[in-house]
């Protein structure tokens, strides 16, 4: 596979002044309200069993609003486990790059939100409805904006292809929760919360290899459409492949993804020389470097 950097001019200025803001609001995630559930009291009628049809409808939906409700719960739980890096400039920068790459997917109905998680683990995540996260550990491994675009493009592809929603549909989680829960839940947000439980656990579920290989291909396509060097993602995979297999920071990545070497091989076979004539800058000089 060709693995060199092509340099052409991309006249896109993504600069804006930093300002202080609440990072939770930045992602559009509201913290849960405590004390809103009223405990059952004596004499109240027994709660009705959970309507599994409602859960099935929620998971089967392709409407952005429904997927966003599921994604909001997953993202909220993930942020509870690993908060955002408290660097407004970093978060704004990653959102600008991510939204530009996401535009190339053609899915304009999604409200995209991007964030950098404050954890040394090396990974990236996406949730239904347009929530995309990269860990600080992975971000520190990047050398330029094209590599960031490739990583984000991979996760954007999981959203546009509804990969996590498909996993939920195929799982036995619906029936298991239907048996375990003995109360009627009103409102799709609450349905999503009880359906998913710990949203971060959903992101730890392994997707089909074909879904990962497709996301790699689409990630390169989205980055190329955005004007970047399309080889950013393969370069990141090469860096990951060079890390020791027993690196604890990679534990979850290896659990949920094929090996970097396997992904590189699949990319090589799929794209051949199709990207050899494409050029694009890596924009290393514009890459936001954490101090």
Instruction: Give the largest Cα separation in the chain, rounded.
Output: 74
Regarding pTM above 0.95, the answer is no
In the structure encoding, which two tokens stand for residue 199, read together? Answer: 């949203």
Three-state secondary structure along 139-178? HCCCCCHHHHHHHHHHHHHHHHCCHHHHHHHHCCHHHHHH
Domain borders along the chain are 46-286
Mean pLDDT by 10 residues, the chain (291 residues): 33 33 43 41 45 48 69 88 96 98 92 96 93 97 98 96 79 48 44 46 67 95 96 96 92 86 95 82 97 83
Joined together, the tokens standing for residue 130 give 């347009």
DSSP, collapsed to helix, strand or coil, labels residue 115 as strand
- Position 48 scores a pLDDT of 43
Q: Contact at 8 Å (CB) between 11 and 144?
A: no
């Amino acid at each position: 596979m060709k693995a060199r950097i092509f340099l052409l001019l991309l006249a896109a200025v993504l600069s804006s002044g930093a300002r202080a803001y609440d990072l939770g609001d930045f992602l559009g995630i509201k913290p849960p309200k405590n004390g809103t559930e009223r405990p059952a009291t004596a004499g109240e009628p027994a709660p009705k069993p959970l309507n599994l049809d409602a859960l099935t409808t929620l998971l089967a939906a392709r409407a952005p609003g429904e997927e966003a409700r599921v994604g909001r719960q997953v993202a909220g739980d993930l942020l509870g486990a690993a908060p955002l890096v408290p660097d407004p400039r970093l978060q704004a920068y990653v959102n600008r790059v991510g939204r530009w790459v996401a535009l190339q997917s053609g899915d304009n109905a999604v409200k995209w939100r991007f964030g950098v998680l404050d954890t040394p683990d090396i990974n990236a995540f996406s949730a239904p409805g347009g929530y995309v996260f990269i860990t600080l550990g992975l971000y520190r491994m990047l050398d330029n904006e094209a590599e960031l675009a490739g990583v984000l493009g991979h996760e954007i592809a999981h959203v546009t292809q509804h990969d996590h929603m498909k996993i939920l549909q195929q799982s036995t989680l619906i029936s298991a929760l239907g048996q375990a829960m003995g109360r009627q839940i009103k409102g799709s947000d609450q349905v999503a919360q009880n359906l998913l439980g710990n949203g971060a656990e959903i992101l730890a579920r392994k997707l089909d290899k074909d879904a990962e290989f497709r996301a790699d291909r689409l990630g390169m396509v989205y980055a190329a459409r955005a004007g970047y060097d399309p080889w950013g993602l393969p370069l990141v995979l090469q860096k990951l492949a060079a890390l020791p297999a027993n690196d604890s920071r990679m534990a979850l990545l290896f659990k949920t993804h094929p090996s970097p070497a396997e992904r590189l091989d699949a990319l090589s076979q799929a794209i051949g020389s199709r990207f050899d004539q494409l050029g694009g800058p890596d924009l290393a000089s514009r890459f936001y470097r954490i101090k």
